[in-house]
Amino acid sequence: MSQDASRRVDEIIARYPRKLAAMLPVLWEVQRENGWISPEAMEWVAARLECSPSAVQSVVTFYTMLDDRPVGKWKLQVCRTLSCELMGARRIIDHLRERLGIEPGETTADGMFTLQEVECLASCGTGPMMQVNLKFCENLTPERIDALLDELRGREPEWDDVEPLIYERPTAEEYLAMLPRSIEPAESAG
Amino acid sequence: MSAPRILMQRALDRPADSWTLAAYEAAGGYGAVRKALDMDPGAIIDEVKKSGLRGRGGAGFPTGTKWSFIPREIDKPKYLVCNSDESEPGTFKDRWLLERDPHAVIEGMMIAAAAIGCRLMFNYFRGEFSYPAKRFMAAVEEAYAKGYLGKGIFGSDYDLELVTHVGAGAYICGEETGLIESLEGKKGMPRNKPPFPAIEGLFRSPTVINNTETLAVVPWILEHGGDAYAQYGPEKSHGTKLWSASGPIRNSGVYELEMGYDLMTFLEEDLGGLLDGFGLKGIIPGGSSVPVMTPEECRGARLDYEGLRERGSLVGSGGFIVIGDNVSAVQCLLNLAHFYAHESCGQCTPCREGCGWIQQLMHKILEGHGTQRDLEQVLRISDNMAGKTICALADAMAWPAVAFVKKYPEEFAELLTGPVDLDAIRAAVGRVDHILPKAS
């Protein structure tokens, strides 16, 4: 951890009546600094918060946003919950699988993209949507995904880039193109 | 009398900068907290009780009553926590408020703090709310710079600090004792109650936890009086409520409606009806945890606590999910079972195992390999979950499971393999539907 980050951690701990309460914000600092939270980082956090490394590990593995292994430069987390699925989330996930050549949970060989399916991100009126690192991208279509992937390949992530990117709402025709007219049993049902 | 937009009007009037202190004060902001600081804490609580305000996060508990549970004379700090963990599928109204009107939330928190004698308060954001948290933290900085927060607020001898705390992704942290555990730096596993948070909450001290929307409406109540708020809406559901509308509708988004608003008017007029090419299959009116309503149940239904209960559902968080006829009820239930199986914290066996079993059985049925026994098993599992765990997540799985099978039995039957007896399915539903919410 850099001196800057270490100082920020001191400031964070001072905000709380008990050191342990600083756990999540301190882990965010670690992830911001290193991109993920390694076993060594967990020991460092445990020493700062005066708890056991296993207490830190139990927290890191409980919360979906904390990574206990390295992830791609861009983490694409597509919402798969009901409102987004009703509007085409499945098509978005399939499109990303095809474009990136990976399955949800995997990272591209060049370390550029990690693809994940996540649960409801509170953007239900502008679905389908995904979170790109810490930025929401809403009202997605396959075409918009293509443009977005090209744009992401050409730049570096910034931690503070959090303002949502909200496209125009797709038309009824665009939605229908993303949705199977009827979700019948999968082909395997025979 | 039709209600004004108590929560949304300010932000709609100044879309360019509604989140700034300047905009909030130009609309009379921070007047109510000044008034509250001159009041006896008991008088603040009485005003909120008079308003009839009920918690907008999902449970609908009367807010003034919740505040009154905090012991007055006790040698422990008291804490106020704003619950901005908004994670109930279909719900995005707190995000709307936090991005556009953060000062209303801050002022509501200050008034609640004054009412319970709190000197350190927290706003707990879900981890994915980076942008709402950024807007909120900027507003908190503005308030500190003006002396509205910190030592001796508004020149009084009252010190009040506010810490913005960002979670890291876990639905269960919206449950109030799960939130407390998370804020204490642990896994967000809900606690057994009692003791209730009002007696032993955060750091084992008396704690009030209120939803973001609930707190944002408090300044208006202090400014205009509890009676003014109570004049809106029917007898037991006062005021206005935010609804998050999603699904294949023309005008999705956040709406503020007076309690008691007609459901079909909301769907057909405010939301513009369904998109071309979609018919109505059903509506989940209060977030994914509440029972789905058929089009017949929707007709004539009132959007308020009693009105939705009469139709077998709940206001919940106001996540109004419109389901089109292009998806099957089976697909919807599988989607939700996947959600609850993923989000179960795992400490109670009925929930940890039950959510996963329902997910597996629904998957089997959707793939065309399920039998009637499998479907009846889903119902039995639901009956063994509801009311049998530390928190309500198990109920939040069991209710949609029983409701979807009860209301769309043909769609499930159609996918089953082997002999199918629709009457037997209905009878199996009849044995377990006592777990669903009833009219009060």
One-character DSSP codes across B86-128: --STT--HHHHHHHH-HHHHHHHHHHHHHHHT-SEEEEEE-TT
Confidence bin at A2 (pLDDT 50/70/90): confident
Q: Which CATH class is domain B329-435?
A: mainly alpha
CA distance A162 to chain B (A): 5
Q: Are B438 and B310 in contact (CB under 8 A)?
A: no
Domain with CATH 1.20.1440.230 in chain B: 329-435
Predicted confidence (pLDDT) per residue in A97-129, tens digit: 999 999 999 999 999 999 999 999 999 999 999
CA distance A47 to chain B (A): 14
Q: What average pLDDT does this structure show over A126-151?
A: 97
Sorted by sequence, the CB contacts under 8 Å of residue A28 that are 6+ apart come out as B166, B168
CB < 8 Å to A21, chain B: 183-185, 203
Residue to mutate among B140, B171, B246, with most A CBs inside 10 A, is: B246
Domain A74-178: assigned CATH number: 3.40.30.10
Predicted confidence (pLDDT) per residue in A3-24, tens digit: 888 999 999 999 999 999 999 9
From A77, which residue of chain B is nearest by alpha-carbon distance?
A: B128
CA distances from A53 to A3, A57, A58, A61, B169 (A): 22, 6, 9, 12, 21
The domain made up of B240-324 has a fold known as Ubiquitin-like (UB roll) (3.10.20)
Alpha-carbon Rg of chain B, whole angstroms?
A: 22
B440 pLDDT more than 90: no
Across the interface, whether the CB atoms of A23 and B95 are under 8 A apart is answered no
Give me the pLDDT at residue A188, please. Answer: 40
A184 pLDDT more than 50: no
Of B397, B260, B391, B246, the residue nearest B322 (C-alpha): B246
Across the interface, whether the CB atoms of B129 and A122 are under 8 A apart is answered yes
Burial class from Cβ neighbours inside 10 Å (0-12, 13-18, 19+) for residue B279 reads exposed
Mark which residues 306-345 of B lie under 8 Å from A by CB.
319, 321, 323-324, 326-328, 331-332, 335-336, 338-339, 342-343, 345
**Share of residues in chain A with pLDDT > 90 (%):** 91
What is the domain partition of chain A in residue ranges? 3-62, 74-178
Q: Are B437 and B308 in contact (CB under 8 A)?
A: no
In this structure, which CATH number among 1.10.10.1590, 3.10.20.30, 1.10.357.140, 1.25.40.10 belongs to the domain A3-62?
A: 1.10.10.1590
B295 pLDDT more than 90: yes
Q: Is B299 on the interface with A (CB under 8 A)?
A: no
Domain with CATH 3.10.20.600 in chain B: 240-324
Question: Cis before residue A70, ω within 30 degrees of 0?
Answer: no
Q: Are B215 and B105 in contact (CB under 8 A)?
A: yes
Q: Is B369 on the interface with A (CB under 8 A)?
A: yes
Predicted confidence (pLDDT) per residue in B154-204, tens digit: 999 999 999 999 999 999 999 999 999 999 999 999 999 999 999 999 999
Confidence bin at A183 (pLDDT 50/70/90): very low
Q: Are B18 and B255 in contact (CB under 8 A)?
A: no
B79 pLDDT more than 90: yes
Q: What average pLDDT does this structure show over B74-78?
A: 94
Helix (H) or strand (E) holding A97: helix A89-100
Domain B9-230: assigned CATH number: 3.40.50.11540
For residue B330 the two structure tokens come to 């089976």
B261: helix, strand or coil: strand
CA angle (B358, B339, B396) in 5-degree steps? 70
Confidence bin at A187 (pLDDT 50/70/90): very low
Q: Are strands A165-166 and A130-132 parallel, antiparallel or unpaired?
A: unpaired
Full-model pTM? 0.96
Across the interface, whether the CB atoms of A120 and B89 are under 8 A apart is answered yes
Q: What average pLDDT does this structure show over B299-308?
A: 97
Give me the pLDDT at residue B439, please. Answer: 75
Choose among B170, B246, B324: nearest Cβ to A64.
B170
Across the interface, whether the CB atoms of B321 and A86 are under 8 A apart is answered yes
Mean pLDDT of chain B: 97
